[in-house]
Amino acid sequence: MVEEDVDPGAADPGILPKIAGVLQVVAGATAFTQGVQLLTMFIFYDWKWVLPYALVPLGLLQMAFGGWTSLGRDWGAIGGVGVTWFLALFAVVFTGWSLLHGVIVLALAWTALAGLAALVAPFAVPPSLAASRARRALYG
């Protein structure tokens, strides 16, 4: 049952969540690829063995949240901000470490993509909240 005071066009989140979602998916894919590359090409004998095992699932998680953000899901956009900011911080720290230790692989590209995704992600939350609110009013 459609309520009469709700505009069906309000259920479309617009272009900003789609852009933020795509950036999150690309940054997540880069984090995932960075983790796979570290798993297959390097052997770490101390605490750094955790890096590839953390990057693979976090990259997959960021790709999932990016997909949900691009669909205009409010919980996806909010969760995506947290995951994206965490991975952006992780990328900066890892890139600094890799530049100092000669393990440069994909770190520079990953840091740039993670930073861009982290800057855009918060702007997807308000339109996603509005679109989810409109969807609930229309269909729920």
Q: How far apart are CA 115 and CA 95, in angstroms?
A: 12
More confident residue, 109 or 23: 23
Any domain includes 111: yes
Any domain includes 2: no
Q: How far apart are CA 24 and CA 58, in angstroms?
A: 12
Q: Are 105 and 95 in contact, with CB atoms under 8 Å apart?
A: no
- Residues 6-31 pLDDT 10s: 777 878 888 999 999 999 999 999 99
Any domain includes 1: no
Any domain includes 58: yes
Any domain includes 67: yes
- Residues 23-77 pLDDT 10s: 999 999 999 988 888 888 877 677 777 777 888 999 999 999 999 999 999 999 9
Per the structure, how many domains does the chain have? 1
Q: Average pLDDT in the 78-98 region?
A: 90
Domain holding 75, by residue range, is 8-139
Any domain includes 27: yes
Any domain includes 3: no
Phi-psi region of 46 (alpha: psi -120 to 50; beta: other; left: phi over 0): beta
Q: How far apart are CA 79 and CA 76, in angstroms?
A: 5
